[in-house]
Amino acid sequence: MDDKKLSLWEKYLTKEIAIEFKACLYFFALLFFYCVYRVACGIYEAGILHLTEMIFSCYFIGYAQVYLFGNFDESDELKGRELAGMFICTGTYVLLSFICGWFDRIWWVSAIYAVYWIVTYLCVFFIYRSKRRIDDKKLNEELRLFQAGHHKKVQDKDE
């Protein structure tokens, strides 16, 4: 096997790390909304059962994002499959929040929560896309410098 190609294990591990990162990122986003809601209601504690449900939800939905919806928040474009994934994952978060009573099953809070998820996904999409573009520029600059240095070395050898 060619050492330059990723092994099956490395591909799997890359996806698992992405899911782990997503679970943390989206749990923080979910927790922020939950805490703002609780404070707005005059409640200064968080339910441990709610927190447990939330982190498991983030992992479950993270797996769906990566394996079913092509890792839509890290894609180059938001088209059919990616948009479907974004809306299905948002709907899943809202449905789970309603079933688990995270926001006391208040419909208008759930509607705001849905908009919050769409905005969150869009922000993450644009952040990842910007990061890729910056990385591309850096790599192209490094390649240009490498080629210029390598070309100079070849010229020095010829002389």
Q: Mind listing the pLDDT tens digit for each residue in 103-155?
A: 999 999 999 999 999 999 999 999 999 988 998 899 888 888 888 876 666 56
**Phi then psi dihedrals of residue 5, to 5 deg:** -85, 145
**Cα(41)–Cα(36) distance, integer angstroms:** 9
Q: What value does the mean pLDDT take over residues 77-87?
A: 91
Predicted confidence at residue 1, as pLDDT, reads 46
pTM comes to: 0.83
Per domain, the residue ranges of the chain are 8-158
End-to-end CA distance of the chain: 39
Which stretches of the chain are DSSP H helices?
8-40, 48-67, 80-100, 107-158
Share of residues in the chain with pLDDT > 70 (%): 91
Q: Mind listing the pLDDT tens digit for each residue in 91-101?
A: 999 999 999 99
